[in-house]
Amino acid sequence: MKNIYLPQLGKIKRVQKETSDVKTFTLAPLRGAGFTFFLKEKIKFIPGQFLEISVFGTGEAPFSISSSPTQKDLQISIKDVGSVTSALHNLRKGQVIGLRGPFGNGFPIKDIRGYDILFVGGGIGLAPLRSLINYILDKRKNFERIIILYGAKNPEELVFKDELKGWERRKDVELLVTVDEGDGKWKRNVGVVTTLFEKIKVNPKKAFAFVCGPPVMIPFVIEGLVKIGLKDERIFANLERYMKCGVGKCGHCNIGPKYTCLDGPVFSYKEIKGLSKEF
């Protein structure tokens, strides 16, 4: 019987610095060591799913996959906020890590074809949304308008800066970026990400919305989306930060009767409305 807690071994193929405290890690198989997780050229996962990553001797933590299943490389993007993330940030190309997963339900990619898609991200919360954004862009003909609203504390903390420039250059993507505090070079919007709602027009009958960011941000974004007219079942939030074991055993991620790691980490607002003070 397979041990659900036993990680497979992998190595770091590449490390990309995004900000002073965020790095994107490209992962690769560790050949010749009984490694089975990456035996296939492309593993099967859905945008929004997550991996449990181990730094041996330090611990394990969950991280959303930030790359798209349509792309060759498997990537996770990590903010340095604790012991495991700090240890990961100290690793270099070629070093070995442990992986379990992918886990979770992911975004409802089959249900959103033919619709306008609105993304609202804050800080490192753009990472799991990036997986779905690039999936949609690689299958662009299956979707209508693509609107991306993204905010961070300041210009330095914007992640995926080169990718943001690429999305902005596309004529089939509407990108609006804001920061809480600008600097001398910042020429765009200043304010929290919900201030961008007044700059867009969305047909709620034709749209789905996807949200991820700091916990304090999500209720305000959902409130704004409801005011725009989106139905509860058309608003989805990624709640990755509530998870611990990843397999529904520890009880750490409960929201009422739901397990974030099993029933989520992607939930519709209809599913989580009223389950806690935060929603």
- The domain segmentation of the chain, as residue ranges, is 8-103, 116-272
Retrieve residue 35's tokens: 């490694």
- CB neighbour list of residue 133: distance below 8 Å, 6 or more residues apart: 68, 119, 146, 148, 167
CA 65/CA 44 separation, integer angstroms = 12
What is the number of alpha carbons within 13 Å of residue 215 lying toward its C-beta?
Answer: 8
Report the CATH fold assignment for 116-272: Rossmann fold (3.40.50)
Q: What is the pLDDT of residues 188-218, one digit of tens each?
A: 999 999 999 999 999 999 999 999 999 999 9
CA 219/CA 214 separation, integer angstroms = 10
Type of residue at 81: V
Chain centroid, CA 225 distance in Å: 19
CA 159/CA 213 separation, integer angstroms = 12
CA 193/CA 185 separation, integer angstroms = 19
Q: What is the pLDDT of residues 97-119, one digit of tens each?
A: 999 999 999 999 999 999 999 99
Question: What CATH superfamily classification does 8-103 receive?
Answer: Translation factors (2.40.30.10)
Percent of the chain with pLDDT over 70: 92
Contact 65, 12 (CB under 8 A): no
Q: Write down the pTM of the prediction.
A: 0.93
